[in-house]
Amino acid sequence: MQNLTEGKAGSLILKFAIPMLLGNVFMQVYSVINSIVVGLFIGKEALAAVGASFPLIFALVSFVIGIGMGFSIAISQYFGARDIKKVVRTIDTMWIFLLVSSVIITVAGLVFSRQLLVFTGIPEDVLPLAVPYFNISIIGFIVMFAFNGGTSALRGLGDSKTPLYFLTVSTVVNIGLDLIFVLGFKWGIEGTAWATVIAQAGAFFSMAIYLNKTHKIIKINFRRYVFDRDIFMKSVKIGLPTGFQQTFVSLGMVALLSIVSRFGTVAVAAYTVATRIDAFASMPAMNFASALSTFVGQNLGAGRADRVRSGMLATLKMTSLVSISVTITAILFSRHLMGVFTHDPEIIAIGSDYLVIVSSFYLFFSAMFVISGVMRGAGDTLIPMFITLLSLWLIRIPVSWWLSDAIGIHGIWWGIPIAWFIGMIGAWLYYKTGKWKLKAIVKQPVTTETTDL
C-alpha cells in the first residue's frame, strides 16, 4: 500500500504507473504473440476471427469493469481519508457485485454468441472460426472479473506492484500454453482461447492464496463478505457513467469493425494486427491516466486538492514524451512491425497505412486520457462519459463511414485522430471549470487550486 498524498507528485505517479504499464505490456506481449502464432501458423481467416471476437468480448465485460472502476475510486478516497472500515466494506461489496455480474454475462454470452458475431457483419469464411474462439473466451469471464477485482482493490490502495507479479506469471504461462496447444496439439484457434482461460484462472487463484496469507486488508473469502448498499450506490454512481462509456466505446469498436468488414477478410486481418500494435502505443497514456486517477482520489480524500494540478501537469509531460517517441517509431518502422505478424503483402500495406495515419496523433489521445483521469479520480465520471460519446458516436463513426465512401479504407483511419482531437478539447474545457472537485465521495475541507494551465 502506498500513500500518494505526500511527496513530489511526478515521482509518485511515475513510481505508481510503471508497474501498471509493465503489467499491461506483458498482457499485450501475449496478445501480440497470440496474433503471430495465429497469423503465421493458422491463417488470415483465423487472424480475422480473433480480431472480430475481441470487440464483442470487450463489449460484454466493459460495462461491469467500468462500474468496477467506481469501486476503485471509492477505495482510493476512503484510503486517503484513512477510513479502513469503509475500505474493507467497499472491497466486500465489489466482490459480490463482480461475482453475480460475471455469472449473468457468461450465460448470456454463451446463449447469444453466434447471433452477436453475425450482427457485426464479419465475413462468412471467418464466422466458423470466430464462434468457438468466442465461446471458449467467455468461459473465462468469471476468473477474469475476479482477477480484475483484486487488481482494482490493490491499485485503489496504492499498490500497483503486486498485480504486476501475477500478470507476469500469467502472461508467461499463456504464451507457453499457446505454443503447446497450437503447435504441439494442433488445436488451432481454440487452443489459443483455452490457453488464455487457463492462464487467467491460474492468475486469480494464485493471487487469492497470496492475499489471504499476506495482505492486511484484502481477503478473498466470499462466505464472509458483507454487502453494503450505501457504498454500492455511491460506487455505482461513480462507476455507472464509466460503465456506459466503456460499453459505448466497445460498441463503437464493433461499429468500426463493421465498416472495416465491408473491405473484406484481408482488411479485417490487417486491422486486427494494426490494432494489436496500436494497443502498445496507447498503453502509456492509459496507465499514467489510471495512476493519476488514484493520485487524485487519495489527495481529494485527504483534503489536498492543491496537489491535483501539479500531478496532472507532471503526467502530461511524461505521456507527451512517450507519445512522441512512439509516434516516431511507428511511422519509421510500420511495415517492419506488420511484417512480424504476417507475410501477406496486402495485409502489411493496409496495416502500415493505419499505423502511419493514427500514430501521428498520439499526443491528442494522451492529453485526452490524462485530463479525463483527473475527473475520474475525483469521482466525476458523467461528463467524461458524454465527451467520449460525443467524440466516438457523433465524430469517429460518422466521419469514418463518410470518408471510407469518399477515399476508401484510409478514411476509416482518419476518423480516429479527428475524434481524439474533439475529445481532448472537450476534456480540457470541462477541467477548466473546476466543477469536478465537488464530486468527491469523502467530503473534507479542501485547499483551493487554480485550474489555469
Calpha distance 417→354 (Å, rounded): 11
* pLDDT averages per 10-residue partition of the chain, 453 residues: 77 87 75 75 80 77 79 86 89 91 91 86 82 92 89 85 87 89 90 91 92 87 83 86 77 84 88 84 86 87 84 93 91 90 89 93 92 87 84 90 93 94 93 80 52 49
> Exposure string (b/e) for 72-93, b if CB count within 10 Å is 16 or more?
bbbbbbbbbbeeeebbbbbbbb
pLDDT value for 447: 47
Q: How many domains does the chain have?
A: 1
Q: Is residue 84 part of a domain?
A: yes
pLDDT value for 429: 93
To the question of pTM greater than 0.75 for the whole model, the response is no
pLDDT value for 448: 45
Q: Is residue 264 part of a domain?
A: yes
Cβ atoms 447, 306 nearer than 8 A: yes
Q: Is residue 104 part of a domain?
A: yes
> Exposure string (b/e) for 204-230, b if CB count within 10 Å is 16 or more?
beebbebbeeebeebbbeeeebeebee
Neighbours of 317 (CB within 10 A): 12
pLDDT value for 106: 92
Which residues, in sequence order, are CB contacts of 51 under 8 Å at separation 6+? 257, 268, 269, 271, 272, 273, 275
Which residues, in sequence order, are CB contacts of 438 under 8 Å at separation 6+? 380
Q: Is residue 450 part of a domain?
A: no
Q: Which one-letter DSSP state was computed for residue 305?
A: G
Q: Is residue 3 part of a domain?
A: no
- Residue type at 369 in one-letter notation: F
pLDDT value for 442: 61
Structural domain boundaries, residue 140: 9-439
Q: Is residue 429 part of a domain?
A: yes
Q: Is residue 292 part of a domain?
A: yes
Calpha distance 318→96 (Å, rounded): 37
Q: Is residue 185 part of a domain?
A: yes
